[in-house]
Amino acid sequence: MQRRKMTKSIIIFLVFFAIGTFLWLTKGNLFYLFNFTYIGLSVSIGAVLNSILSSEKKMWSRKITQLMIGVYLLGVLGFLGHENMQIEGFFFYLLLGSFTGPVIHYFIAKIFGTLLFGRAYCGWACWTIMITDFLPWMKPQKGRLKYWGIFRYLHFLGVLFLILILWMFFRVNDHEYISFILFKCLIIGNLTYYAIAIILATILKDNRAFCKYACPIPVLMKFGTPFSVWKIKIEKNKCTECRLCEKTCPMNIKLLVYMKSNKRIASTECIACQQCVNICPENAVQYTKGFDFEIKQYINYNHIKKSE
């Protein structure tokens, strides 16, 4: 089993290395090779740690990968390289028809990547949650707030609207000026995101509150996620319905409802964090590949009592 997981880690690394090599050769820029090799290495380190650490410590594998990728994307590409890897950078460069860093990142990690791994980016690479995940509320203390998720859609539309205005009415041909504006947006935007994420997490006692109620990126990722090849699955014959997985799920997903209807966890809220896999005492939860599709969402809006 452990050997199989090790092989998987090597395959993951080789896939990223192949993408980097392909982009290096087609675009003539060695940076792509470095970039994808580093990301592949970060994911593989997480996968290796996940296969050797004990169940209680497995969460560290994800946190380490998240930190390695998050610091790289925000610190190295963003602050040092002046690339706005946020959603406004993606929209803007896309409108300009410029197939550069932010556009490639969004297409691979947040659009086409969701067809393979769903929202694994949110679970393993987000540079906002890499900070709040060190707060003490990994397990949500309450059910989800029912209508607050709408703020993510409003945020998404607001950013899109602002970028369209900038694109239509400002000096879009002056690339230096635009890069300067986008770099300012990166700094101000991220400081604001961190402040909101920490405040929300503290008030709601939920490390992932920003993810659930404020971040615009899931809106984009929700299109591909239901089709994702890799999804969580509960083996019905092994499950004793202790509900430990549901109580642990940071995204408040009703895993047992999917299991009882013989479905994999197709929720667009699943971030592939694998907390449910690690906690199950019966080894009933697995991260599996397959082809299926489900539109219905089952989310816990009520608090799951400890005794349940």
Q: Which residues bind ligand SF4 (CB under 6 A)?
A: 232, 234, 239-245, 249-251, 253, 255-256, 265, 270-276, 279-280, 282, 284-285
- Give backbone dihedrals phi and psi of 74, rounded to 5 degrees, phi first: -80, -50
Nearest to 284 by CA among 246, 236, 247, 251: 236
Query: Residue 282: what residue type?
Result: E
Q: Which residue, 163 or 280, is less far from ligand SF4 as judged by CB?
A: 280
Q: Least Å distance between CB 86 and ligand SF4?
A: 23
Smallest gap from residue 112 Cβ to ligand SF4 (A): 20
Q: Which is nearer to ligand SF4, 85 or 259 (CB)?
A: 259
**Which token pair is 162?**
């602002």
Burial 171-204 (b: 16+ CB within 10 A, else e): eeeeeeebeebbbebbeebbeebeebbbebbeeb
Nearest distance from residue 231's CB to ligand SF4, in Å? 9
Q: Which of 220, 198, 225, 213 is nearest to 88 (CA)?
A: 220
Cβ of residue 204: shortest distance to ligand SF4, in angstroms? 17
Say how many CA atoms lie within 13 Å of 84 toward its Cβ. Answer: 23
Q: How far is the CB of 308 from ligand SF4 (least distance, A)?
A: 11
